[in-house]
Amino acid sequence: MSPRRVRACLLAGALLGFLTGLAACESAVERQRVTLCRRAVPALAPTETDLAVLRAGAGPAPDTVRVDYRVGSRPRWALCRFNAGAELLGITTDQGHLNGAALYLLKRYYLDTPDAEASDPARADGAR
């Protein structure tokens, strides 16, 4: 095999490795986003209600995640907006937009706590 062909194969392999790594990183960021948005739902829903997540995934715009859920028999949704990473920038629900103070309190005093993890509607044991 010629040195030129070897160099082309090495370059193609390096490019493939880079793109695979980039895709894995994107998947990790997307998983973080979905988890954060889903964990915000119990704080947005009325307390002492039957809450079930119906769907959680990419939203309609870039850097957004939409969570469709049910409270009792009523369908609801939350749309979370993120920066290029996994920093939560805003939440809009079927009830309206979360203002800056409410978003700050949610992020600072709830989302990073064990309570948010324990109340995650996607927990396998179904605890809320």
Tokens 């850097």 sit at which residue?
A: 63
Q: Which amino acid is at 20?
A: T
Bigger pLDDT: 80 or 21?
80
Can you give the pLDDT at residue 3? 63
3-state secondary structure of 36: helix
Among the listed residues 54, 65, 43, 56, the one whose alpha carbon sits nearest the alpha carbon of residue 118? 43
Sorting pLDDT into bands at 50, 70 and 90, what band is 20? very low
Structure confidence by residue, pLDDT tens digits, 93-102? 999 999 999 9
User: Can you tell me the distance from the alpha carbon of 61 to that of 33, in angstroms, rounded to the nearest whole number?
Assistant: 14
Structure confidence by residue, pLDDT tens digits, 34-65? 999 999 999 998 777 789 999 999 999 999 99
Q: What is the pTM of this model?
A: 0.75
Residue 118 belongs to what H/E stretch? helix 114-118
